[in-house]
């Protein structure tokens, strides 16, 4: 920020690598940007943060493609009865309750994505699970955990599981370890065939979404990409949204889902 101020940059577009609304996935970034602008002084550029983009067709489409590929990777004899399990980073329940302009936005947005992807791959049922919880055990966090969900579907006689990490945009360690290693070991112990869908990463649909959003927000003109965020996007990221002080003072979430 100081370098941009020194270079005379007047307008900056910020894109967070989380598509959803909550303190740790949106508001915390805004607070950090505000602090950086304050430290840079009066010459700091204006910063426009792109709102949560969870329902953009480029984001949804990349997960539809990845989920189809994951389903197709299963043995043919178990594929028809495979259960879709969508995962996202767990957060404290108090943070989830304060997310979005009216509260409860984080789990609600995840449910929207899960439903859109499920319909997109021609399935009719899905489950939402959480992963990567941290913080003191005494603090309630969103559940169920992905490993507990695998136990449930195996006990119900489901033929296979397709795990779709809709809370993440790249295959970092919370994907490689928490899902590919830990959840994979749980599925193997249960004798449950499991396939994991890829995150968007460098999916052409996802990359095209990012470039289009950045171009439109940089120009200050809403176009097809911004309009695809939905009419509610304008109400997100406003002052006071997502409980900016909630949980921070308790030190519950240092990094957040990214």
Q: Which residues contact 110 (CB under 8 A, 6 or more apart)?
A: 20, 54, 86, 88, 128, 166, 167
pLDDT at position 258 = 32
The separation between the first and the last C-alpha atoms of the chain, rounded to the nearest angstrom, is 21
Query: CA-CA distance, 15 to 10, in Å (whole number)?
Result: 17
Has residue 192 got a pLDDT over 70?
yes
**What tokens appear for 98 in the block?**
């304060």
Closest CA to 205 of 105, 11, 90, 68: 68
Helix extents (H) in 41-157: 57-72, 93-97, 105-120, 146-155
Query: CA-CA distance, 27 to 14, in Å (whole number)?
Result: 13
Q: At what angle do helices 204-219 and 57-72 cross, to 10 degrees?
A: 170
Q: What is the pLDDT of residues 103-136, one digit of tens each?
A: 899 999 999 999 999 999 999 999 999 999 987 8
Under DSSP, the state recorded for 197 is: P
Beta bridge partners of 49: 14
Q: How far is CA 60 from CA 47, 55, 121, 163, 222, in A?
A: 26, 6, 11, 15, 20
Q: Using 50, 70 and 90 to split pLDDT, how confident is the model at 100?
A: confident
Q: Which residues contact 35 (CB under 8 A, 6 or more apart)?
A: none
Contact 96, 141 (CB under 8 A): no
Average pLDDT for 88-110: 92
Place of tokens 């304008």: 234
Most confident of 129-143, 159-173, 214-228: 159-173
Has residue 101 got a pLDDT over 90?
no
Q: Using 50, 70 and 90 to split pLDDT, how confident is the model at 236?
A: low
Has residue 242 got a pLDDT over 80?
no
Has residue 254 got a pLDDT over 90?
no
Q: Report the share of the chain in percent with pLDDT over 90.
A: 77
Q: What is the pLDDT of residues 45-74, one digit of tens each?
A: 999 999 899 999 999 999 999 999 999 999
* Ordered domains of the chain (ranges, CATH): 2-54+204-235 (no CATH), 57-196 (3.40.50.1400)
- Residue 134 or residue 142, greater confidence: 142
């Amino acid at each position: 920020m100081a370098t941009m101020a020194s270079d005379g940059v007047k307008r900056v577009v910020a894109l967070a690598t989380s598509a959803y609304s909550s303190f740790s996935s949106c508001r915390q970034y805004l607070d950090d940007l505000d602090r950086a602008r304050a430290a840079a002084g009066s010459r700091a550029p204006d910063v426009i943060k792109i709102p949560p983009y969870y329902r953009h067709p480029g984001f949804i489409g990349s997960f539809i493609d990845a989920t189809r590929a994951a389903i197709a990777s299963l043995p043919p004899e178990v594929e028809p009865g495979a259960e879709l399990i969508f995962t996202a980073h767990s957060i404290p329940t108090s943070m989830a309750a304060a997310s979005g302009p009216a509260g409860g936005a984080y789990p609600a947005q995840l449910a929207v994505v899960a439903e859109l992807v499920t319909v997109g791959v021609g399935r009719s049922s899905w489950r939402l699970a959480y992963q990567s919880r941290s913080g003191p055990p005494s603090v309630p966090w969103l559940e169920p955990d992905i490993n507990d969900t695998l136990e449930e579907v195996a006990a119900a006689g489901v033929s296979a599981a397709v795990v779709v990490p809709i809370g993440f945009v790249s295959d970092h360690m919370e994907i490689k370890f928490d899902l590919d290693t830990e959840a994979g070991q749980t599925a193997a112990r249960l004798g449950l065939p499991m396939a994991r869908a890829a995150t968007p990463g460098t999916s052409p649909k996802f990359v095209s979404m990012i470039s289009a959003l950045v171009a439109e927000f940089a120009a200050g003109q809403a176009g097809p990409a911004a309009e695809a965020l939905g009419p509610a996007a304008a109400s997100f990221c406003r002052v006071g949204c997502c409980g900016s002080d909630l949980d921070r003072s308790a030190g519950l979430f240092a990094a957040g889902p990214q």
